[in-house]
């Protein structure tokens, strides 16, 4: 996987310039939509994120045709929305390492420049160290559950998710990921099932919800074993019971390539099913996480009642399990590119709650600048300015560390400080129900 460091720096500089320009002309959200935040409030610091960048006064370069075009300032805030980014396994050190590699010791990722900073405690109902299913369920429903369980409490009772609550209020909803859509994090927002590993059944339950936008991998879970999809490999649904053809008949547009996604002309009221790999997306992702996020927002934000979107950078966790520091950093940079584009979107849509967090930390990652790490040390790596650093790992598994939460928009003030991961659901619920 190769990241474009120059493009990332340019997009961040473009965002900073646009922030200054739109500050005076963008509509404001009323104070009651953001309890606890005042006009002079300072963000709560999250260690170990780096200080603000020192080069923000540099001239803003022109955007290339492949970069995000800033929105036109408008007095219309548009419908309310929630955009939740989850970097699977992404702890504080993962974010800091990505900033060092892409921007330097004084650099700050866009995800870390959001106004509100907090820490989420990630323990599940039955373990101090959660898995993705339990943590995503906690974020999606506001209740802790056992590891491996999706959308249900420890007693096996289904829990209404934020996605289902948004649907009940007439909002459009979507899920985006770089791993199979049936994997634990996206599945926890959509289904109620006692095992995260029953992926064909998860696919059936997911399609029954009529989610407006589904973009990710996992084609095999949606096709019958007797059907030919876009990718090699057999479908996992029973013969004659594939899920894609019936979905198309009921109004979904099915795409499986980047070109199809980027040229999409979805009819009014249409739904989108994008399956871009038989299993997980292969690097370099095609389409990228940034492109999938943009496509999802283009569809969902047309709903006049509101929208909910969950975007997962699912392979950060996998790279951290393998203690592959460079891949972790590049994947985190890719997530930040999607956040950058979304931040630009929210500048013209201030009634949008934007949250960036993780379901848990993976790898026990830490950083040093002297190379005196443990036997798992990875590196050396260099910042753009030539400063050398190393990455240490304490494990190849999940840890119980708190994870950073950064946020902006209505009710984001609820996410300052330290709290159980269920608080994220509470902020999103307040955004939907308004109380």
| Mean per-residue pLDDT pooled into runs of 10, the chain (435 residues) | 45 46 38 40 34 29 31 61 98 98 96 98 98 98 98 97 98 98 98 95 97 97 93 91 95 96 88 97 96 96 95 97 97 98 94 98 96 86 97 96 97 97 98 85
Q: Take residue 332 and report the two structure tokens written for it.
A: 């985190």
Residue 118, Cβ density class (10 Å: 0-12 exposed, 13-18 middle, ≥19 buried): buried
Q: From CA 322, how far away is CA 363, in angstroms rounded?
A: 8
pLDDT at 435: 57
Task: Give residue limits of the domains in the chain.
Answer: 85-433
Q: Take residue 140 and report the two structure tokens written for it.
A: 């999606």
Inter-residue long-range contacts of 241-247, CB under 8 Å, 24+ positions, other chains counted: 243/203, 243/204, 243/207, 244/273, 244/275, 246/207, 247/207, 247/271, 247/273
- What is the CATH code for 85-433? 3.40.720.10
Q: From CA 113, how far away is CA 220, in angstroms rounded?
A: 38
pLDDT at 317: 97
Q: From CA 273, how far away is CA 257, in angstroms rounded?
A: 11
CA dist list (Å): 294 to 190, 192, 298, 337: 21, 28, 6, 11
Q: Take residue 320 and report the two structure tokens written for it.
A: 């951290």
Q: From CA 49, how far away is CA 153, in angstroms rounded?
A: 34
pLDDT at 270: 87
Q: From CA 270, how far away is CA 104, in angstroms rounded?
A: 44
pLDDT at 72: 42
Q: Take residue 384 and report the two structure tokens written for it.
A: 């753009």
Residues 198-231 pLDDT 10s = 999 999 999 999 999 999 999 999 999 999 899 9
The pTM for the full model equals 0.85
Q: From CA 367, how far away is CA 379, in angstroms rounded?
A: 10
80: left (phi over 0), alpha (psi -120 to 50) or beta: beta
CA dist list (Å): 70 to 13, 18, 62: 12, 7, 11
What single string gives the DSSP state of each residue in 68-131? PPPPPP-S---S-EEEEEEETT--HHHHHHHHHHHH-TT---GGGSSSEEEEEE---SS-SS--
């Amino acid at each position: 996987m190769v990241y474009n460091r120059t493009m990332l720096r340019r997009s961040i500089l473009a965002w900073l310039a646009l922030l200054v320009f739109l500050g005076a002309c963008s509509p404001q959200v009323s104070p009651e939509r953001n309890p606890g935040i005042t006009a002079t409030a300072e963000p709560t610091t999250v260690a170990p994120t780096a200080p603000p960048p020192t080069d923000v006064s540099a001239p803003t370069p022109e955007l290339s045709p492949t970069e995000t075009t800033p929105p036109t300032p408008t007095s219309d805030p548009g419908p309310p929305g929630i955009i939740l980014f989850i970097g699977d396994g992404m702890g504080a050190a993962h974010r800091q390492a990505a900033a060092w590699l892409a921007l330097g010791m004084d650099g700050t990722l866009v995800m870390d420049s959001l106004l509100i900073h907090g820490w989420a405690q990630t323990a599940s109902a039955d373990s101090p160290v959660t898995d993705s299913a339990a943590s995503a369920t906690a974020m999606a429903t506001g209740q802790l559950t056992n590891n491996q369980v999706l959308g249900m409490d420890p007693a096996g009772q289904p829990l209404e998710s934020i996605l289902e609550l948004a649907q009940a209020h007439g909002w459009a909803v979507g899920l985006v990921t770089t791993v199979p859509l049936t994997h634990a994090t996206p599945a926890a927002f959509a289904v109620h099932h006692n095992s995260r590993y029953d992926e064909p059944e998860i696919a059936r339950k997911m399609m029954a919800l009529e989610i407006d936008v589904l973009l990710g991998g996992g084609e095999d879970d949606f096709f019958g074993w007797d059907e030919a999809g876009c990718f090699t490999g057999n479908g996992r649904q029973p013969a004659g019971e594939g899920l894609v053809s019936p979905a198309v008949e009921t109004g979904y547009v099915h795409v499986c390539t980047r070109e199809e996604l980027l040229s999409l002309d979805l009819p009014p009221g249409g739904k989108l099913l994008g399956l871009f790999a038989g299993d997980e997306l292969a690097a370099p992702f095609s389409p990228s996480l940034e492109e999938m996020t943009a496509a999802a927002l283009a569809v969902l934000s047309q709903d006049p009642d509101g929208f909910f979107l969950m975007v997962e950078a699912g392979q950060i966790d996998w790279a951290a399990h393998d203690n592959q520091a460079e891949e972790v950093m590049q994947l985190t940079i890719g997530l930040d590119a999607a956040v950058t584009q979304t931040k630009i979107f929210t500048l013209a849509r201030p009634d949008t709650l934007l949250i960036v967090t993780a379901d848990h930390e993976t790898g026990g990652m830490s950083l040093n600048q002297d190379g005196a790490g443990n036997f798992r040390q990875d590196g050396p790596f260099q910042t753009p300015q030539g400063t050398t650093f190393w990455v240490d790992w304490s494990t190849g598994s999940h840890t119980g560390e708190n994870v950073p939460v950064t946020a902006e928009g209505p009710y984001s003030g609820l996410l300052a400080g330290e709290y159980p991961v269920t608080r994220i659901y509470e902020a999103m619920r307040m955004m939907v129900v308004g109380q």
